[in-house]
Amino acid sequence: MSQNEMERQMDEQLRDAVLQALAADPRTAPLDLRAGVLNGIVHLGGSAPSDDDWAWAEMVSARVPGVRGVVNRIEAPGAPSPARTINLNLASISMKGEQP
């Protein structure tokens, strides 16, 4: 299996885990949400009824093991513009030459 195939498979598994976490949470389960993953970064889309639900969906996604960051493009009243909200977990990124 090539490196690209392994990364794509890991992203697919991470997407499944994020979708399961969102479906299992009572606040996010009824929302119309979508998720995609590329290189460990979750891209959320859809709509939520409030900015609290917007933030909650991001938090639920960010807590899934393996998620390196969340791009939150969920549309919600009072939430930041969905086009540019990016939150990275910089603690998960090691410095060059540093052992994990």
What separation, in Å, do the N-terminal and C-terminal C-alpha atoms of the chain show?
24
As a whole number of angstroms, the distance between CA 35 and CA 43 comes to 6
How much is the pLDDT for 98?
Answer: 45
Long-range (24+ apart) CB contacts under 8 A made by 57-61 are 57/22, 57/27, 57/28, 57/31, 57/33, 58/87, 60/21, 60/22, 60/25, 60/27, 60/28, 61/18, 61/21, 61/22, 61/35
How much is the pLDDT for 50?
Answer: 94
- pTM for the predicted model, two decimal places: 0.79
The domain segmentation of the chain, as residue ranges, is 3-92
| Kind of pairing between the strands at 69-75 and 41-47 | parallel
Lowest mean pLDDT among 35-44, 51-60, 80-89: 80-89
CA angle 3, 67, 42 (to 5 degrees): 90
Rg (CA), the chain: 14
Tell me what the mean pLDDT of segment 43-49 comes to: 95
Tell me what the mean pLDDT of segment 54-71 comes to: 96
